[in-house]
């Protein structure tokens, strides 16, 4: 291993976590067997209690009971809780961002950006509370009014992942609350402190606006806690973020009880770079998308499909940029790449590199482990591999900073290569040719839920619906009309006449 920037000790980080929690008003519960580990050193910041089956059942029961009153509160009044949550997030942005860095390993700028995303979605949800529109439909019967209305759905279960430990929760919770739902949240067991902090802030927001804090429940633990949410008929909607494998287990079980699922699963995202592309802009976008968050975003760029005529110049630029990336303490100024979440992520990356090499791939740069804090933490230099074909390993998602580069000659082939994976989350094209851009966005272009032009695959704004197709699960969260997933639709017919005409002209009796 090579050595680079030094970092604080686990004791220093433990103190920093305690200060952040104190600032957020969150008191640690009694010590338990659930470790809050930091990937910065691999050490333990605290231990928490697992939620046993009775505690999970009690949380669902409480959320279900509170829902019966919460659903009758007018939506603009429900929004007061979310508005206050947004204000508290502005006030405590630095402290919550510290916890995100401590538990997920994100550099400071990305951690603060994630909390800003929470603030943004709170603002969106407050505005949405006055726009939960139905519609009026022309009736074929005289003296009748036909319309659609939307009503609160029930208890929403949220299962979130480590890589966005607070933003994805906020996407779901802010929208669910203004829609009149209550929430039971099971965060990743690797980020329990950030969850405790968010839970504390939301319950404070509820109390300060005069509402029952039981609108939000927190349960901590592993897969067994998740299964209890999956199988409980009182969970009207289960929003789950994680691997495709997890989704294949969750979806049939929820469907078996006729519940609803909102799945955000894996992504194997690609960008096409055409001969007309602005290579300076492309390089900056590619590096951020592929190396940011140490490649641990669902929207991370994993495949680069470059026209053969410009592959050389672009790879030279990428090589220079990658060699300048500073790997180390995510709290340190100038560091752009923090740690992988754990040793399993590191081993997965190394195994993928070896498989790619066996497929005649050439490792252009990176891939080596960096000795920052000893054997219990896992820092790695982002890697670029030149591949001669889109082999099996390229078609799989490796959750690490690993970028495969392939070339093409024909634009139709580039799109075919782009779509030839099972995932369908995010995609990009870099071009100044309008025809190429429009073709990429056309029905026979990118098959992903997110398709960008001259911008990377990561960094979505909250105003648009977030999600993907195929093995990505089909769910949509955050902006646009994603709110409809959290409500139930009713078709209403009102007869204000003195007659009783039947639809389709049927005469009965």
Q: How many CB atoms lie within 10 A of CB 44?
A: 14
* H or E segment and range at residue 302: strand 301-307
pLDDT higher than threshold 60 for residue 381: yes
* H or E segment and range at residue 2: strand 2-3
For residue 509, name the pLDDT band (cuts at 50, 70, 90): confident
Helices assigned H by DSSP within 292-380? 311-324, 343-358
In this structure, what DSSP letter does residue 502 have? P
pLDDT at position 174, please? 98
In whole angstroms, give the CA distance from residue 309 to residue 508.
74
For residue 1, name the pLDDT band (cuts at 50, 70, 90): very low
In whole angstroms, give the CA distance from residue 280 to residue 318.
10
In whole angstroms, give the CA distance from residue 58 to residue 67.
14
pLDDT in tens, 37-50: 999 999 999 999 99
Radius of gyration for the alpha carbons in the chain, expressed in angstroms and rounded: 24
Mean pLDDT across the stretch 289-309? 98
Measured between alpha carbons, how far apart are the two ends of the chain, in Å? 87
pLDDT at position 2, please? 43
Helices assigned H by DSSP within 328-428? 343-358, 411-419
Domain boundaries, the chain: 9-265+473-489, 269-462
pLDDT at position 417, please? 98
In whole angstroms, give the CA distance from residue 487 to residue 492.
16
pLDDT at position 259, please? 98
pLDDT in tens, 383-412: 999 999 999 999 999 999 999 999 999 999
Mean pLDDT across the stretch 347-375? 96
Taking CA atoms, 106 is separated from 119, 165, 192, 332, 352, in Å, by 18, 11, 16, 11, 23
pLDDT higher than threshold 90 for residue 7: no
Q: Give phi and psi for 305, each to the nearest 5.
A: -110, 105
pLDDT higher than threshold 50 for residue 3: no
* 444: Cα separation from own chain's centroid: 26
Tokens (6 digits) for 196: 């405790």
| CA max distance for the chain | 89
3-state per-residue secondary structure call for 35-84 = EEECCCCCCEEEEECCCCHHHHHHHHHHHHHHHHHHCCCCHHHHHHHHHH
Q: Name residues whose C-beta falls within 8 Å of residue 171's C-beta, 6 or more positions apart in sequence.
A: 121, 462, 466, 477, 478
Q: For the chain, how many residues are written?
A: 509
3-state secondary structure of 404: strand
In this structure, what DSSP letter does residue 331 have? T
Q: Name residues whose C-beta falls within 8 Å of residue 428's C-beta, 6 or more positions apart in sequence.
A: 269, 270, 271, 272, 285, 289, 301, 451, 452, 453, 454, 455, 456, 457
Tokens (6 digits) for 156: 């929403």
pLDDT at position 376, please? 94
Q: Name residues whose C-beta falls within 8 Å of residue 351's C-beta, 6 or more positions apart in sequence.
A: none
Q: Closest Cα partner for 301 from 167, 177, 423? A: 423
Residues with a known catalytic role: 264
pLDDT at position 6, please? 63
For residue 507, name the pLDDT band (cuts at 50, 70, 90): confident
Q: Give phi and psi for 3, each to the nearest 5.
A: -110, 145
pLDDT in tens, 162-218: 999 999 999 999 999 999 999 999 999 999 999 999 999 999 999 999 999 999 999
Which segment of 114-123, 153-162, 500-509 scores lowest on mean pLDDT? 500-509
pLDDT in tens, 441-476: 999 999 999 999 999 999 889 999 999 999 999 999
In whole angstroms, give the CA distance from residue 216 to residue 156.
10
From the options 2.60.40.420, 3.40.640.10, 3.40.50.2300, 3.40.309.10, give the CATH code of 269-462.
3.40.309.10
3-state secondary structure of 301: strand
Mean pLDDT of the chain: 96
For residue 334, name the pLDDT band (cuts at 50, 70, 90): very high
pLDDT at position 27, please? 83
Same fold, 9-265+473-489 and 269-462: no
Fold of 9-265+473-489: Aldehyde Dehydrogenase; Chain A, domain 1 (3.40.605)
């Amino acid at each position: 291993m090579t050595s680079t920037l030094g970092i604080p000790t686990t004791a220093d980080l433990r103190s920093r976590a305690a200060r952040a929690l104190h600032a957020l008003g969150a008191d640690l519960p009694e010590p338990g067997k659930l470790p809050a580990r930091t990937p910065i050193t691999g050490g333990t910041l605290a231990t928490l209690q697992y939620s046993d089956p009775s505690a999970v059942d009690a949380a669902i029961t409480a959320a279900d009971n509170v829902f019966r009153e919460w659903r009758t509160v007018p939506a603009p009044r429900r929004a007061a809780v979310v508005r206050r949550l947004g204000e508290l997030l502005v006030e405590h942005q630095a402290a919550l961002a510290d916890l995100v860095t401590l538990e997920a390993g994100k550099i400071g700028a990305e951690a603060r950006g994630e909390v800003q995303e929470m603030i943004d979605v709170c603002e969106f949800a407050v505005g949405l509370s006055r726009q939960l529109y139905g519609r009026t439909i022309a009736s074929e019967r005289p003296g009748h009014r036909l319309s659609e209305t939307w009503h609160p759905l029930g208890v929403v279960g949220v299962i979130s992942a480590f890589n966005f430990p607070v933003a994805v929760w906020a996407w779901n919770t802010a929208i669910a609350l203004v829609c009149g739902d209550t929430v039971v949240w099971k965060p990743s067991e690797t980020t329990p402190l950030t969850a405790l902090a968010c839970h504390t802030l939301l319950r404070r927001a509820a109390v300060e606006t005069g509402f029952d804090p039981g609108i939000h429940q927190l349960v901590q633990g592993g897969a067994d806690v998740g299964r209890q949410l999956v199988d409980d008929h009182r969970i009207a909607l289960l929003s789950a973020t994680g691997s495709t494998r997890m989704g294949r287990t969750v979806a049939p079980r929820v469907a078996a009880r006729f519940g609803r699922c909102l799945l955000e699963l894996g992504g194997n995202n690609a960008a096409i770079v055409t001969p007309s592309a602005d290579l300076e802009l492309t390089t900056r976008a590619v590096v951020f998308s592929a190396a940011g968050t140490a490649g641990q975003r669902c929207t991370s760029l994993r495949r680069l499909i470059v026209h053969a005529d410009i592959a050389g110049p672009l790879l030279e630029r990428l090589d220079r940029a990658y060699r300048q990336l500073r790997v180390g303490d995510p709290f340190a100024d100038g560091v752009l790449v923090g740690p992988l979440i754990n040793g399993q992520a590191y081993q997965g990356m190394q195994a993928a590199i070896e498989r790619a090499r066996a497929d005649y791939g050439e490792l252009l740069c990176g891939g080596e482990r960096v000795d920052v804090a000893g054997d219990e933490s896992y820092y790695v230099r982002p890697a670029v591999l030149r591949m001669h074909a889109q082999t099996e390993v390229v078609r799989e998602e490796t959750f690490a900073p690993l970028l495969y580069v392939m070339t093409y000659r024909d634009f139709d082939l580039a799109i075919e290569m782009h779509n030839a994976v099972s995932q369908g989350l995010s995609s990009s094209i870099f071009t100044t040719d309008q025809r190429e851009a429009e073709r990429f966005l056309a029905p026979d272009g990118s098959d992903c839920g997110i398709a960008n032009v001259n911008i990377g695959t990561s960094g979505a704004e909250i105003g648009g619906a977030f999600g993907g197709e195929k093995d990505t699960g089909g769910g949509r969260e955050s902006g646009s009309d994603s709110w409809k997933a959290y409500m139930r639709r009713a078709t209403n017919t009102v007869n204000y006449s003195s007659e009783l005409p039947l639809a389709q002209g049927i005469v009965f009796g």
